[in-house]
Amino acid sequence: MSERTQNLDLNAWRARVNAVRPFRLLGRVTKVVGLTVEVEGLNSFIGEICEVYVPGEIQPVRGEVVGFRGGTSLLMPLGELRGIRPGCRVEPLGRALTVRVGEHLLGQVVNGLGYPLANGGDTRNGTRPDGAEEYPVHNAPPDPLSRRRIDRPLETGVRAIDGFLTCGRGQRLGVFSGSGVGKSVLLGMLCRHCSADVNVVALVGERGREVKDFIERDLGPESLARSVVVVATSDQPALIRLRAAMVATAIAEYFRDRGKDVLFLMDSVTRFALAQREVGLAVGEPPTTRGYTPSVFALLPKLLERAGTSPAGSITGFYTVLVEGDDLQEPVADAVRSILDGHIVLDRELAAKNHYPAIDVLQSVSRLMPDITAPEHQRCAAKLRRLLAAFKQAEDLVNIGAYVSGSNPLVDEALAKHEAIMEFLRQDHTEFGGFAESLARLQYLAGEAGAAGA
């Protein structure tokens, strides 16, 4: 055996020995302040999972180390604080959070830690499903030089997106809107009609009532069969809401690493940021921009950059952003828009006119559309954008009867085609718009002056 081989074997054994913990230091709860549990006596690391043993309870309460203050470790529970008191024994597990992944997850609805909700939301002591493996929740994004370039469009089945905002396999897009403008319905349309192999849906901070509505009405049984839904409702602790986004992303990474094209949908990034703000304030971070702590803006790219292409497969991400007062310049929206590869803006005025999906194509953009579509497609989409812009500019004059036909040829064409263009953009949530069909209708609208319909 060569000297190099001996050194390699020795290094492997040395790593295994260093990983062994012959004894564990147990801690004791000393104080509970707000969302944090202060524990003395631990020699732990950030992100380590600990179990807090509550008198009279069969199952311990799990918590995660989120910070330190002097010789005290700060834990945030992955469950309810109820019952925890000074003196409770705390045992570190010596590992960070993991999730059980495998083909068994398809068709499942799981909680923020990856346990199936159908089994009461906690199967950590149950049997291990066939083929399941432990997968780390916190993973680094793919190396920039290992990412494949995005050169193939993803058929979403939504005409407004395929025609005007074509999305590539591995692209990341934000869906920006206020409340009640149709974000969940649009996500359901993407799940139903998209040509991806697997759907992973993260519902972070969602209303409990809307979870079943989304699964049964928007998703449907056929789409659920090839989907994994991760749910952390608004009443869950802040750390559960945070980890739900990370768990869902880890599940999507698992399928991507096996060569799948994954559609990842997260609703919403805003509630994820609010959960991190709660955690940051609880451990003593100073509030900065509109009350958000610095860790919020440090965590956003770590989450969003994990989607995209890898040497094996791809994760195409759609992330909803709930903008306060329809203000697209608020801090979270501005930070997310700067990270992602495009944005889709849902307009409240369109929704008020019963125009769904309420996508404002003039405010929306796909940064990768020029790289993944044919020049003819780009020319047609650009022409229809110009017509929509011309109509919007002249709309007030038209409504008061001040516009004289023939004074502007572009406005004349926009007026003639406007209803046909809007009909193209409107789509029932159960209706599928094939990519080839959408492109043909787009070309017809761009090329036939004065068309009344398509």
pLDDT digits (tens, 9 = 90+) for 24-76: 679 999 999 888 999 999 989 999 999 999 998 888 999 999 999 888 999 99
Alpha helix stretches (DSSP H) within 305-367: 331-339, 348-352
State the pLDDT at residue 451.
37
Q: Quick one: pLDDT band at residue 275, thresholds 50, 70, 90?
A: very high
State the pLDDT at residue 122.
54
Give all domains of the chain, ordered by start, each with its CATH number: 23-96 (2.40.10.170), 99-120+131-371 (3.40.50.12240), 376-446 (1.20.1270.330)
Q: Please, what is the end-to-end C-alpha distance for the chain in angstroms?
A: 75
268: left (phi over 0), alpha (psi -120 to 50) or beta: beta
State the pLDDT at residue 114.
93
Phi and psi of 71, rounded to 5°?
-95, 15
State the pLDDT at residue 415.
95
Q: Is the pLDDT of residue 14 over 80?
A: no
Please give the share of the chain, as a percent, with pLDDT higher than 90.
71
Q: Is the pLDDT of residue 453 over 50?
A: no
Q: Is the pLDDT of residue 450 over 50?
A: no
Q: Is the pLDDT of residue 120 over 60?
A: no
Q: Which tokens sit at 148? A: 């494949």
Tens-digit pLDDT profile for residues 372-409? 999 999 999 999 999 999 999 999 998 898 988 988 99
Q: Is the pLDDT of residue 124 over 70?
A: no
- Least confident span in 67-71, 128-132, 177-181, 281-285: 128-132
State the pLDDT at residue 295.
94
List the one residue out of 156, 228, 231, 154 whose CA is nearest residue 192. Answer: 156
Please tell me which residue, 10 or 263, carries the higher pLDDT value.
Answer: 263
Q: Is the pLDDT of residue 152 over 80?
A: yes
Q: Distance between CA 61 and CA 239 in Å, rounded? A: 13
Q: Is the pLDDT of residue 237 over 60?
A: yes
State the pLDDT at residue 4.
52
Q: Is the pLDDT of residue 6 over 70?
A: no
Name the average pLDDT for the chain. 89
Q: How does DSSP assign 126-141, residue by residue?
A: SPPPTT-EEEESS-PP
Q: Quick one: pLDDT band at residue 454, thresholds 50, 70, 90?
A: very low
